[in-house]
Amino acid sequence: MTDRLSLDAHLNGLDVPAALKTVLATTAAACVDIRNVVSGGALVGALGASGAVNVQDEEQKKLDVIANDILTEALLACPVVAGVASEEMDTVQSATNPSGEYLVLFDPLDGSSNIDINAPVGTIVSVLKAPSATPVETDFLQAGHHQVAALYAVYGGQTMLVLTTRQGVAGFTLSSDGRWLMTHPDVTVPTHTKEFAINMSNQRHWAEPVQRYVAGCLAGADGPRGKNFNMRWVAAMVADVHRILMRGGVFLYPWDAREPNKPGKLRLMYEGNPMALLIEQAGGKATTDGVQSILDVIPTELHQRIPVALGSAAEVDQIVSA
Ligand code: FBP
């Protein structure tokens, strides 16, 4: 078998600061630790509810807490990390590293409703420059186009890590001896697709344009689109986005009328922004409201939510014009 490029070798070859390479290597190693707990499941007491509710007012699973603790501990101990923010923590945590240069924001365990049924879950990470070594919450509120890196790990049939430092997108597969080896050197999203991902059970609550777009897909070859579509919904953004990066498609989690004051379910800082950067770096598009790119949204709150539509560029254009 030919020698595959390791993640460390890939990072060393990148034209990015050594400190950023350290942050990414630390994050990737923490994802291996999370993966080991995920794969242990009931055997390691990782299933079920933790009994707590997070700042999102969502029931925390045990694995949400375990994954958050693994990432937080590893990153705050990393000398070039100035602070972290997490879906699972009310406030940001500043490190005590005088050499801190980066802010790391994450959804430590994305797809929580999949944990107990052994369906895919993952970890989503966004990296920003820190204005100082002693950051406060407002330092984290940077638009997505300021991200210096984004990655996710998907814990599925294979364990994969997909990464961008704004020089394209590369994919790595975890080997049996615990090494991230490059298997997808140049990930690109096909421009066209016949596959959409949305939670159809919310259909009656969507705004009209989303209703029109999905109805066009469902009408298939006999309808205005003139072709048949397939539908997928893994209930883990990380897995749906991974599929789109591997073979194209679109993913939508739009505003809906169930909670009209909530812009959407997904969070901007550690779900929308990192996934939008990965998708756009791979040649796709990521819009929040059909007008603005997710990456141009100016954050106002750490845990703010946004509507999301991303994936194959030509299909996102169809959503926008629906
Ligand atoms: P968590 O990060 O709490 O898991 O929530 C986000 C998420 O699980 C996404 O990964 C997924 O796309 C979506 O929620 C599924 O929502 P729903 O259960 O409404 O289909």
Amino acid at 230: N
Residues 251 and 128 in one domain: no
For the cut 60, the answer to whether the pLDDT of residue 10 exceeds it is yes
pLDDT of residue 96: 83
Most informative mutation of 112, 121, 203, 243 for ligand 1 (most atoms within 8 A of CB) = 112
Q: Give residue 53's pLDDT band: very low, low, confident or very high (50, 70, 90).
A: confident
Whether residue 190 is contained in a domain is answered as no
Report the atom number in ligand 1 closest to the C-alpha of 112. 4
Whether residue 86 is contained in a domain is answered as yes
Which residues neighbour 209 within 8 Å (Cβ) at sequence distance 6 or greater? Answer: 290, 319, 322
Whether residue 189 is contained in a domain is answered as no
Could you give the 3-state DSSP secondary structure of residue 116?
A: helix
Closest to 78 (Cα-Cα) out of 9, 26, 13, 139: 26
Whether residue 23 is contained in a domain is answered as yes
Whether residue 230 is contained in a domain is answered as yes
pLDDT of residue 2: 57
pLDDT of residue 58: 85
Length of the chain: 322
Q: Give residue 1's pLDDT band: very low, low, confident or very high (50, 70, 90).
A: low
Residue-by-residue DSSP string for 28-70: HHHHHHHHHHHHHGGGGT--SEEEEE-TTS-EEEHHHHHHHHH
Report the atom number in ligand 1 closest to the C-alpha of 56. 3
Of all protein residues, the one whose alpha carbon is nearest to atom 15 of ligand 1 is 235
Residues 120 and 233 in one domain: no
Most informative mutation of 253, 262, 306 for ligand 1 (most atoms within 8 A of CB) = 253
Average pLDDT over residues 32-40: 97
Compute the distance from residue 241 Cα to the ligand 1 centre, in Å: 12
Residues 35 and 143 in one domain: yes
Most informative mutation of 62, 86, 256, 266 for ligand 1 (most atoms within 8 A of CB) = 266
Report the atom number in ligand 1 closest to the C-alpha of 266. 6
Location of structure tokens 């990072």: 11
What pTM was estimated for this model as a whole?
0.97
Tens digits of residue pLDDT in 253-306: 999 999 999 999 999 999 999 999 999 999 999 999 888 999 999 999 999 999
Of all protein residues, the one whose alpha carbon is nearest to atom 13 of ligand 1 is 235
Residues 176 and 201 in one domain: no
Whether residue 275 is contained in a domain is answered as yes
Cα–Cα distances in angstroms (integers) from residue 231 to residues 158, 252, 263, 295, in the given order: 22, 11, 24, 26
Residues 242 and 301 in one domain: yes
Average pLDDT over residues 184-201: 98
**pLDDT, averaged across the chain:** 96
- C-alpha gyration radius of the chain: 19
**Helix H segments across the chain?**
7-12, 18-40, 62-76, 137-140, 208-219, 237-247, 273-281, 313-320
Rounded to whole angstroms, how far apart are CA atoms 16 and 288? 29
Residues 174 and 250 in one domain: no
pLDDT of residue 49: 92
Rounded to whole angstroms, how far apart are CA atoms 67 and 270? 15
Compute the distance from residue 17 Cα to the ligand 1 centre, in Å: 34
Residues 62 and 129 in one domain: yes
Residues 203 and 289 in one domain: yes
pLDDT of residue 57: 83
Residues 24 and 68 in one domain: yes
For ligand 1, residues with CB inside 6 Å are: 58, 87, 107, 110-113, 199, 235-237, 253, 265
Of all protein residues, the one whose alpha carbon is nearest to atom 3 of ligand 1 is 112
Give percent above pLDDT 90 in the chain.
Answer: 93
Whether residue 209 is contained in a domain is answered as yes
pLDDT of residue 97: 87
Location of structure tokens 């007008």: 291
Q: Which helix (H) or strand (E) holds 164?
A: strand 159-164
Of all protein residues, the one whose alpha carbon is nearest to atom 4 of ligand 1 is 111
Q: What's the structural domain count of the chain? A: 2
Compute the distance from residue 321 Cα to the ligand 1 centre, in Å: 26
Which tokens belong to 156?
A: 């599925």
Beta-ladder partners of 76: none
Burial of 16 (0-12, 13-18, 19+ CB in 10 A): middle
Compute the distance from residue 110 Cα to the ligand 1 centre, in Å: 7
Domain that holds residue 225: 195-321
Compute the distance from residue 11 Cα to the ligand 1 centre, in Å: 30
Tens digits of residue pLDDT in 238-255: 999 999 999 999 999 999
C-alpha of 131 from chain center: 24
Most informative mutation of 89, 113, 205 for ligand 1 (most atoms within 8 A of CB) = 113
Q: Give residue 68's pLDDT band: very low, low, confident or very high (50, 70, 90).
A: very high
